[in-house]
Amino acid sequence: MSVAAGSCAARKGIEAGGRVLAINGSPVRDEIDLLFLAADARLKIMYVPPLLGVREPCSRLCDGKPGVLLGGGKRPPSTSAAGEKQGASMACALQNDTLGKPSAAALRGTSGVKMHSAPRQIVIVKPPDAPLGIEIEAIRPRGCRNKCVFCFIDQNPPRLRRPLYFKDEDFRLSFTHGHYITATNLTRADLDRIAGQRLSPLYISVHATPHELRCRMLGVNPAKTPDLLDVLRFLADRRIEFHAQIVLCPGWNDGVALERTLDDLESFLPALLSVAVVPVGLTVHREGLPRLEPVTPRLAGEVIAQVQPRQKRLRRKLGHRIALLADEFYLLAGAEPPRYTPDEISSQIENGVGMIADFWQGWPSRATTTANAAGATASSAAGATASSAAGTGAAAATAANSATAARAIPKSLAQPRRVAILTGLLGARVLEPLAARLNKVRGLDLRVIALENSLYGRGVTVSGLLPGADFERGLESAQANGADLVLLPGNALRPHDNRFLDDLLLDDLQTRHPSIRVQAVHGGACDILAAILSG
C-alpha cells in the first residue's frame, strides 16, 4: 500500500510496504474492508511494519487472507475503459485488460510476503469518515468457473495479451467497478458481507431467470448452483440494489423466456435499478463451442416490439424505462432509439445503451435516424477526450470546447485538408452522415473508411475491437487517397499505453507513416469536429 505524506496514517508511523492486519478487531482483507472499517473515528489498527529498509510491496495477498499490503497497487480505472462492446460478455475481455488485474506472478499464485516485523497496535483518532491516507493494492479478482455458451473470452483468438483471457467473477469488483457477475460463486459469507457492508448497487448478469435455462446458458450444474431468484430476493430484502444484464442469444433466452425473465426481474423493483438487453457477440473463433446464431434485423425488430410496451408502462409509472435495449438492436432494425434521460443510461452505457445519443451530444442539430444509430457505435470508436497520437501535439478536445466547436462549424477552411476517419463497420454507418454534413465545409475532404475485423471476423463490427493491423491497412488506404490527417477511435487503444489489441502501438503506426498525422479521438461528433479543426 502507499501512504500519503502528512496523512493520519503517515503521522502515526504507518509506512508503505507494511501490512494492515485488522482495524478495531475486524480483519482487513481488501480495500473494501479498509474503507468500511476506517470510517470510524477511533481506530485501533493492528499493523505490521516492513522490515528496516524494505519499502516495496512484496506481492498481492490471496483472497480472504487478512492483512492488506501497503504498496503501490495501481487503482484500476473505471469500467468505461472497457470501451465499446459487442455483447456484454465481450466486456470481460476488455475490462480485464484495463483494470488492475493480477500480475503474471499473482496469476501463478506466487506468494512472496516474508519479510515483515512483529505486529503492533496503532491508535488513530480522526473525524469520522476522514480518510486514513492509505491506499492498498487493488483487489485480486476471483476467477469465474462458469462456461457460458456465449462467453466472449472463449471466443478470443490465440496469442493475445494474457489478461484478455482472464475471467473474473468477483462481487467486490462488481461493487467497486461495476463488473457484471453471475453470482454463481457467492457463498453465504459473501452474501452476509454484501448485506453487512452495504455493497450496493451490484451488477448482475442474469441472462434468464428460469433456473434450468440459466444454468444451461452458464454451463453450470443446476443442482450445485443457487437459484438466482433466491439470491436476488436475499439482496432485495436487505435493500441491496442491482443493475442487471441479459445477453440475448436467439433460440435460448429470447421470446417467452425473455418475457418471463423481465417479469421476474420487475418483481424486484425498486431494488432492480435497470436491466440492459444486449445482443450476443459472435466471433469466428467458436471451434468446439455450442452453436449460436446472431441477432438478425428481424429478431431485433421483434425484441424492440416486445420490450417497448414494458418501457412505456414503467416510464409512466416510475419515470424510468428500467428495461433498456442496447442501441445495436435499433441499428439492426433500422429503428429510432428512445430518447433516454442521462439518468436512465448512466449505468448501462457500457452495455451499449444510449451510446447513439451520447455520440451526438452537443451537436447543433439532430441527425437522421440512421445517422444517430450509427453514431452510437462510432462514439465508442471515437472516444471522450481527443488525445494526440505520437506526440503530434494536437489539442485535446474537452466537452466544453466540443460544444463550442459544434456551434461554430465553419463555412470554409483556411487551408484545404483531407481527413480520413477509420472505424468499424457499424461505426461507418454512423459516421457517413456526419461526413456528409462536414463535407459541406469548403476545403474539407472527409472520408470514412470502414474496416473489417481481421482478428474476430466480420461478425464483430464494433470499432473498439479492431486490431492495429486493421488500422494500418486503413491508414495505407487513406494515404493512397492523399489524406493528411487520420482519425481513429480512442477506444481501440489500451488507455495507459495506447496499444491496440494486437500489441501494435499507436506510436508505431505514426512512425511507420510519418507523412500523415494520426490522431486518436475519444468522444462523439463534436470531438471529431474539434480534432479536424485543431489540426
If the CB atoms of residues 143 and 301 are measured against ligand SF4, the closer one turns out to be: 143
| Closest CB to ligand SF4 among residues 146, 361 | 146
Torsion angles phi and psi, residue 477, rounded to 5: -65, -40
Closer CB to ligand SF4, residue 169 or residue 470?
169
Torsion of CA 52, 54, 60, 66, to 10 degrees: 10
CB of 148 to ligand SF4, least distance (A): 3
Nearer to ligand SF4, 156 or 510 (CB): 156
Collect all residues with Cβ–Cβ distance below 8 Å to 389 and sequence separation of at least 6: 488, 498, 506, 507, 509, 510, 517, 518, 519, 520
| Residue 238 vs 286, nearer CB to ligand SF4 | 286
- Of 94 and 300, nearer to ligand SF4 (C-beta) is 94
CA atoms of 272 and 228, how far apart (whole Å):
13
Task: State the minimum distance, in angstroms, from the CB of residue 288 to ligand SF4.
Answer: 14
**Least distance in angstroms from the C-beta of 234 to ligand SF4:** 20
- 3-state secondary structure string across 270-326: CCEEEEEEEECCCCCCCCCCCCCCCCCHHHHHHHHHHHHHHHHHHHHHHCCCCEEEC
Strand 387-388, strand 323-325: pairing: unpaired
* Cα separation values, 447 from 130, 188, 207, 417, Å: 53, 56, 39, 11
Task: Name which of 31 and 169 has its Cβ closer to ligand SF4.
Answer: 169
CA-based nearest residue to 425, from 380, 486, 490: 380
Cell numbers 423493483: residue? 269
Q: At its nearest, how many Å lie between ligand SF4 and the CB of residue 200?
A: 21
Query: 203 or 359, CB closer to ligand SF4?
Result: 203
Q: Are 197 and 174 in contact (CB under 8 A)?
A: no
Least Å distance between CB 173 and ligand SF4? 12
The least distance separating ligand SF4 from the CB of residue 99, rounded to whole angstroms, comes to 13
Say whether 160 sits in a helix, a strand or coil: coil
240 forms beta bridges with none
Residue with cell 428460469: 210
The least distance separating ligand SF4 from the CB of residue 167, rounded to whole angstroms, comes to 3
> Please, what is the minimum distance in Å from the beta carbon of residue 17 to ligand SF4?
33
Tell how far CA 237 is from the center of its chain: 29
- Contacting residues toward ligand SF4, per CB under 6 A: 89, 92, 144, 146-148, 151, 153, 167, 169, 182
